[in-house]
């Protein structure tokens, strides 16, 4: 056979092999594309579940109500339909024992002194609750003492309670911490709120100090929400997890205007008490005033539920990535514009629906090496109760829990360029988020509103406290088609007109979910990567949660 014929045959063979290679590559790409499509978080699924969960049928999803029964059963049924398994042995539920305290405060809070007395009106000027499981609690001419920010922080050499026997006394404190708007980045964490700035800490610390009561002065900017949120959130029934920890007889807020009236009647009249509280070495000061207020309580002990679903891994089943979101909201409360059902569409039907949409995406994709757990927790609006109970009674070993991805209040008006990370700088979860964001042509930023303390205001905080690296993020700064200023106005409108109000509703014709879908897709992508690795994300050396992990 001539050499030219052989060369021709070899050429044909090469072309055939090249063609075969191209076909294989295209086939792989096609398969990859199919896999990506199967792994997509579906926007229709998100919309369907938000519409259900935020409908009037679910009665505002308050624990201990018919709304809870409907909600937890709906979630269980939907996880079962997806083929997820019970996450708590053979159950989809983790029981969370709670106490419901329905308090009725006296109509007036009486502030009295040597020059007379004046009254504050309930709801308009003050709210009062208790965490004591008693039918009657009160402050009876309890001495009022201004305790600055109500902080005991040895690492900052700070003690607002020092030098006073607090038995029988009521502390009056400012919200947030001394660093807020101080202009001094070395004072606490500057404008970034520490846990010392949260109202939950302030009640806890006052009780530890032996005080009888605590009054927090409301101020919209350092609190980050208006008096209307205090009025709705601190009235009616309150849920607690019963414990042996000390509790105050009365936990109260007063309006900024009422606080000024109080100081004008006190021995501190004319003094700038807010500036004094920021000075290092501040000492608590008696106002030479007394306070009287009473609360009558109805006590109900019952069990709420966390919903727990599991998609087991194929190789390392005991290593778990936890997606969390709180299912609860405020139920039926004070009517606003004729509507008394607090539907909580953004807060947090969006996150709860996100759990189901992400679970659906995992079930459609290739099984992962590690397990994926979904925990819809109860009682977030009452003080992160469901996640706190889980942290004390974990179903999955915290040392083998790879990470927590928490989803709360997704409500952007469209696709966002940014991914804002609340608690940025804590762990390597920042790096996972950044890698996923870049693939979506997005950038990451730390929370620009760090002074509002959002890191301490959702359930990831309780996972972090037991050493589990957590990601809590959302697009909330700049849109692909929406300016930074427009987003700012959108957020301000939400906080003013929808946050914790009956108007937080879902309307299929106007609710925009493309940005929600983009965020949820990113959370899925991060979890998917973690679920197929054999390493664990670490806390950074500067994180206060590193010790719990190690």
Using one digit for the tens of pLDDT, what is the confidence trace for 497-529? 999 999 999 999 889 999 999 999 999 999 999
Q: How distant, in Å, are the alpha carbons of 117, 125, 203, 255, 456 from that of 227? A: 24, 9, 18, 7, 20
What is the mean pLDDT of the segment spanning 253-261? 98
For the record, the structure tokens of 492 come out as 């301000």
| 520: enclosing H helix or E strand | helix 514-531
Residue 479: pLDDT band by 50, 70, 90 thresholds? very high
- In three-state secondary structure terms, 169 is coil
In the prediction, which pLDDT does 550 show? 86
Please give the full DSSP string across 196-220, using - where no structure is assigned.
GGSHHHHHHHHHHTT-SEEEEEP-H
Report the distance separating Cα 535 and Cα 517, nearest Å. Answer: 28
Residue 327: pLDDT band by 50, 70, 90 thresholds? very high
In the prediction, which pLDDT does 384 show? 94
Q: Is the pLDDT of residue 14 over 70?
A: no
Residue owning tokens 């607690």: 240
Residue 357: pLDDT band by 50, 70, 90 thresholds? very high
Reference 455, options 483, 420, 419; nearest CA is 420
In the prediction, which pLDDT does 235 show? 85
DSSP 134: -
This prediction has a pTM of: 0.81
Q: What percent of the chain has pLDDT over 70?
A: 93
Give residue-wise pLDDT tens across range 426-477. Answer: 999 999 999 999 999 999 999 998 888 888 889 999 999 999 999 999 999 9
In the prediction, which pLDDT does 233 show? 84
How confident is the prediction for the chain on average, in pLDDT? 92
Report the distance separating Cα 413 and Cα 304, nearest Å. Answer: 33
Report the distance separating Cα 139 and Cα 150, nearest Å. Answer: 19
- In three-state secondary structure terms, 221 is helix
Residue 111: pLDDT band by 50, 70, 90 thresholds? very high
**Is residue 348 reached through a cis peptide bond, with omega within 30 degrees of 0 on the bond before it?**
yes
In the prediction, which pLDDT does 7 show? 37
Reference 383, options 278, 542, 514, 238; nearest CA is 238
In the prediction, which pLDDT does 24 show? 40
What is the mean pLDDT of the segment spanning 268-286? 96
Q: How many CA atoms lie less than 13 Å away from 181 in the CB half-sphere?
A: 9
Q: What is the dihedral of CA 181, 183, 185, 187, to 10 degrees?
A: -70
In the prediction, which pLDDT does 31 show? 40
| 13: enclosing H helix or E strand | helix 3-38
Contacts 24+ apart (CB under 8 A), 90-93: 91/308, 92/307, 92/308, 92/309, 93/305, 93/306, 93/307, 93/308
Please give the full DSSP string across 253-279, using - where no structure is assigned.
EE-HHHHHHHHHTSTTTTS-HHHHTTS
Beta bridge mates, 443: 418
Give residue-wise pLDDT tens across range 139-171. Answer: 999 999 999 999 999 989 999 999 999 999 999
By the 10 Å C-beta count (0-12 exposed, 13-18 middle, 19+ buried), 298 is classed as: exposed
């Amino acid at each position: 056979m001539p050499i030219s014929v052989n060369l021709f045959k070899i050429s044909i063979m090469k072309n055939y092999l090249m063609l075969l290679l191209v076909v294989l590559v295209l086939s792989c790409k096609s398969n990859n594309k199919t896999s990506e499509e199967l792994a997509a978080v579906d926007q229709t699924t998100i919309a369907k579940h938000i519409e259900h969960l935020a409908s009037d049928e679910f009665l505002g999803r308050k624990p201990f109500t018919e709304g809870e029964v409907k909600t937890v059963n709906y979630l269980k049924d939907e996880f079962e339909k997806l083929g997820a398994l019970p996450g708590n042995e053979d159950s989809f539920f983790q029981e969370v024992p709670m106490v419901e305290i329905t308090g009725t405060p006296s109509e007036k809070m009486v502030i009295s002194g040597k020059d007379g007395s004046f009254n504050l009106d309930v709801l308009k000027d003050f709210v009062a609750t208790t965490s004591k499981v008693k039918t009657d609690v009160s402050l009876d001419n309890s001495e009022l003492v201004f305790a600055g920010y109500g902080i005991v922080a040895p690492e900052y050499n700070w003690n607002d309670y020092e030098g006073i026997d607090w038995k029988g006394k009521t502390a009056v404190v400012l919200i947030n911490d001394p660093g807020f708007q101080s202009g001094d980045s070395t004072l606490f964490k500057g404008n970034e709120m520490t846990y010392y700035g949260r109202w939950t800490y302030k009640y806890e610390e006052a009780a530890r100090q032996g005080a009888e009561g605590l009054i927090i002065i409301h101020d919209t900017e350092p609190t980050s929400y208006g008096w209307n949120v205090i009025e709705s959130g601190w009235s009616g029934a309150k849920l607690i997890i019963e414990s042996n920890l000390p509790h105050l007889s009365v936990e109260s807020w007063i309006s900024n205007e009422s606080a000024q009236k109080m100081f004008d009647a006190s021995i501190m009249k004319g003094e700038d008490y807010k500036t004094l509280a920021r000075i290092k070495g501040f000492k608590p000061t008696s106002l030479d005033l007394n306070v009287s207020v009473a609360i009558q309580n109805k006590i109900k002990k019952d069990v709420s539920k966390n919903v727990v679903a599991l998609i087991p891994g194929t190789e390392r089943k005991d290593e778990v990535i936890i997606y969390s979101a709180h299912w609860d909201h405020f139920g039926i409360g004070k009517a606003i514009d004729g509507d008394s059902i607090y539907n909580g569409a953004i807060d947090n039907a969006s996150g709860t629906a996100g759990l189901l949409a992400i679970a659906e995406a995992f079930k459609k994709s290739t099984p992962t090496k590690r397990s994926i757990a979904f925990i819809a927790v109860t009682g977030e609006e009452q003080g992160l109760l469901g996640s706190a109970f889980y942290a004390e009674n974990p179903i999955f070993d915290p040392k083998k829990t790879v990470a927590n991805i928490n989803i709360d209040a997704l409500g952007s008006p469209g696709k966002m360029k940014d991914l804002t990370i609340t608690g940025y700088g804590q762990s390597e979860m920042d790096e996972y988020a950044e890698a996923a964001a870049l693939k979506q042509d997005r950038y990451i930023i730390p929370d620009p509103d760090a002074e509002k303390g959002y890191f301490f205001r959702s359930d990831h905080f309780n996972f972090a406290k037991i050493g589990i690296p957590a990601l809590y993020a959302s697009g909330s700064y700049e849109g692909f088609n929406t300016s930074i200023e427009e987003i700012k106005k959108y957020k301000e409108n939400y906080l003013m007109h929808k946050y914790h109000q009956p108007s937080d509703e879902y309307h299929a014709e106007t609710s925009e979910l493309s940005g929600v879908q983009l965020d949820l897709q990113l959370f899925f992508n991060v979890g998917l990567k973690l679920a197929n690795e054999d390493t664990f994300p670490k806390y950074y050396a500067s994180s206060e949660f590193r010790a719990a992990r190690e």
